[in-house]
Structure 1
Amino acid sequence: MTDYVIHTEDTAPGDTRQPLTVLREAFGFVPNGAGVMANSPALLHSFFSAFGHFRGGGTFTPAERQVLLLSNAVANDCAWAVAFHSVEALADGVTPAAVDAIRRRGLPTEPRFAALSTLTRSLIEKRGHLDETDATAFTAAGFDDGQLLEVITGVAISTMTNYAANVARPPLEPPLRPHAWAY
């Protein structure tokens, strides 16, 4: 496996420093997943732009976004992202029981979270070829058809990070270590 530099704001190539600065300001550290993606400006900028729209212009609550992103990380067997999104989910109000259920490949007891996690995993597992029952179960939980399309955005941005971290295998940052996960 190739060894990737985990860039910081000081080592990042050219115009990848600005997104890393924004991430450091948001999280208190530059996430190693982003530091890896900085090896490819195209990847980091694509991720950063899409995530900004997903977070800033999306309709999901912070907790719902984290349920979606954590479900993606588990479905993609990305240990780094599972730890990262476990921390973020707890900070955004997802209950420890719901986080634990998703990490164990189960479902949260909260109906909306369960429907969102199920749809997210179905999109990944079925490569976008959902059955009518998948969409119906999602909308029956109170989501709308536009939000089903918004889940695709979450899956796409999460896939960028998950795959980059799966290829590079960055170490967990100290705040993430208590949430280490193995598939």
Structure 2
Amino acid sequence: MTDFPIHTIDTAPGHAKQPLASLHEAFGFIPGAAGVMANSAPLMSSFFSAFGHFRGEGTFTGAERQVVLLSNAVTNNCAWAVAFHTLEALADGVPPAEVAAIRQRELPADPRFAALSALSRALIERRGRLDEADLAGFRAAGFDRDQVLEVVTGVAISTMTNYAANVADLPLEEPLREHAWEPKH
């Protein structure tokens, strides 16, 4: 465990104040991973930019984005991010049974959600070395070639937050506690 401060808007270095304020506005609280990432200007800037593009310019619905991010959190064994993205997935309309499946390392029943989850997991587990079956399954669910790269963006965002949360061994904020999850080591 490390002892990184979990910054608030008041305690954050100058480079992190505006991103933290924006995240507070978006989520109603400052996610702990963002509070930790605020300790590093390159990490905070990279995350905030990528997150903004993924959320604002991407082709996935909010629910689809959360399926990617929750799948990544589970695959990366990040308890904090699993709790956070469980909260967000439910808020963005992912049915509870689909969220439960992902949390249990299973594929959701919905074909589009299953394709997103499977591709995301494959990217992480095989370090981006997809095979034709991975891509065929993704396309069969109605996604196009370019959306594979959008999933890569989601994996990059998750790598930043999941690793920062794991390094800092973040406690769960009050809104996340009901979604606690135990990682598999």
Q: Specify the code of the residue in structure 2 equivalent to 1:52.
A: G
Q: TM-score, normalization: structure 2?
A: 0.98
**Paired residue type of 1:152:** V
Show the counterpart of 1:92: 92
1:27 aligns with 2:27: yes
Identical-pair percentage: 73
User: Aligned residue for 1:111?
Assistant: 111
Note if 1:70 corresponds to 2:70. yes
CA distance in 2, matches of 1:70, 1:134: 19
Q: Match of 2:59?
A: 59
C-alpha distance in 1 between matches for 2:12 and 2:41: 9
Aligned mates of 1:128, 1:73 — CA distance in 2: 16
In 1, Cα distance between the equivalents of 2:149 and 2:15?
30
**Quick one: distance in 2 between partners of 1:39 and 1:156?**
19
Contact 2:115 2:137 in 1 (8 A): yes
Q: How far off is 1:41 after superposition?
A: 1.2
Give the match's secondary structure for 1:112.
Answer: helix
Corresponding residue number in structure 2 for 1:102: 102
The Cα offsets for residues 31-58 of structure 1, whole Å up to 9 and x where unpaired, read as 1010000010110110000010011100
- Name the residue aligned to 1:150: 150
Letter of the 1:142 counterpart:
G
Q: Does 2:41 correspond to 1:41?
A: yes
Conserved 8 A contact 2:73-2:162: yes
Secondary structure of the residue aligned to 1:175 is helix
1:79 aligns with: 79
Alignment size in residue pairs: 183
Give the CA deviation at 1:109. 0.4
State the 1:2 CA deviation. 2.3
SS in 1 for 2:174: coil
Aligned match of 1:177: 177
How far off is 1:14 after superposition?
1.1
Distance 1:126 1:25 in 2: 36
Q: CA RMSD in A?
A: 0.5
**d(CA) in 2 for partners of 1:89 and 1:166?**
20
Question: How far did 1:15 drift?
Answer: 1.6
What pairs with 1:130-145 in structure 2 (closer than 5 Å)? 130-145=130-145
- Provide the C-alpha distance between the structure 2 equivalents of 1:51 and 1:14, rounded to a whole number of angstroms: 19
Conserved 8 A contact 2:2-2:169: no
